[in-house]
């Protein structure tokens, strides 16, 4: 553990563990504020250029996103010979994965309460030229005030304008088809992943699944989006319309984060869009067509 880090923080128990790092519970010696310290072991990364790039990107990304609503707060970073230590806001609440497991199916209003701040966080990232690239329920956490925070930018990447990215990153159920097929991709891979989360909240299971990672990837590549009647009988047409626009394999037709936020299901607070739904959808379609042509 870095001496500079130990000078400013009291580091205690382990909170979690990932492929390259460990997250610890800690407190600021100056303010007493509870924080989390993510310690990444540089010696375990080896020669993989993608993993090494992600390691150094994470601190830069978190610093650029500092103060953005619904994104885990970044405080500072320390580095020594073997480790990079990132000091972050500590969220003691559950993550979205735990809530999905315990609740199984969300009402549309409950799903909206997750999707609105999540999409605002993703939209902020994209405006700043950052793609998260690993949106999944485990990376959506809640603080003591039950505020949603997007976390774990260990796979994030910077982009400019229409610049494409590469590299297979993400998690099987949530990964976009263009990533699975090893094609270059843009920030809309995050929209696909968020669409999978919305589907899971409304249905209780993922839209593309299988018995193994290979089966899941094949299902993702087919992108055969279905709404089983028994499950989706009570789900509004607007919710299903939004899912189609987030989970389309055609990247040009897939919504941007801003378009998702303007969709009738979002503007009606998950209430189905009311009587103006067809007119509002027409506005969204016109907006999408303009985006494709521009």
- C-alpha span between 192 and 135 (Å, rounded): 9
Q: Which of 279, 265, 258 is nearest to 237 (CA)?
A: 265
Q: Which of 16, 82, 20, 83 is nearest to 50 (CA)?
A: 20
Q: Which of 253, 285, 281, 286 is nearest to 268 (CA)?
A: 281
User: What pairs with residue 36 in β-bridges?
Assistant: 25, 88
Residue given tokens 């003691």 in the structure block: 92
- C-alpha span between 3 and 273 (Å, rounded): 56
Residue 158, helix vs strand vs coil: strand
Residues with a catalytic annotation lie at 134
Whole-angstrom distance between the N-terminal and C-terminal Cα of the chain? 50
Q: Which two three-digit tokens encode residue 264?
A: 């009738």
Is 38 assigned a ligand-binding role in the annotation? Answer: yes
- C-alpha span between 179 and 50 (Å, rounded): 14
Q: Which residues are annotated as a binding site for ATP?
A: 38
Q: Which residues are annotated as a binding site?
A: 38
């Amino acid at each position: 553990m870095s001496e500079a880090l130990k000078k400013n923080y009291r580091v205690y128990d382990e909170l979690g563990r990932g492929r390259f790092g460990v997250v610890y519970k800690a407190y600021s010696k100056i303010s007493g504020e509870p924080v989390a310290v993510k310690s990444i072991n540089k010696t375990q990364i080896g020669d993989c250029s993608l993993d090494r790039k992600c390691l150094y990107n994470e601190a830069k990304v978190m610093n650029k996103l500092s103060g953005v609503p619904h994104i885990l707060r970044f405080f500072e970073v320390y580095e020594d010979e073997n480790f990079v230590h990132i000091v972050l806001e500590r969220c003691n609440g559950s993550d979205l994965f735990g809530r999905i497991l315990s609740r199984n199916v969300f009402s549309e209003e409950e799903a909206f309460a997750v999707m609105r701040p999540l999409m605002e966080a993703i939209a902020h990232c994209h405006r700043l030229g950052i793609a998260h690239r690993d949106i999944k329920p485990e990376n959506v956490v809640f603080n003591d005030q039950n505020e949603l925070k997007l976390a774990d930018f260990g796979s994030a990447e910077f982009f400019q304008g229409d610049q494409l990215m590469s590299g297979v990153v993400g998690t099987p159920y949530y990964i976009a088809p263009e990533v699975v097929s090893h094609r270059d991709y843009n920030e809309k891979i995050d929209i696909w992943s968020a669409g999978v989360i919305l589907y899971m909240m409304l249905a209780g299971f993922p839209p593309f699944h299988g018995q193994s990672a290979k089966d899941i990837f094949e299902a993702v590549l087919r992108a055969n989006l279905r709404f089983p009647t028994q499950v989706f009988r009570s789900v509004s047409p607007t919710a299903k319309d939004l899912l189609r626009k987030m989970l389309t394999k055609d990247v040009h037709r897939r919504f941007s984060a801003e378009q998702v936020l303007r969709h009738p299901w979002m503007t009606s607070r998950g209430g189905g869009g009311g009587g103006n739904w067809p007119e509002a959808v027409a506005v969204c379609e016109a907006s999408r067509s303009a985006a494709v042509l521009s």
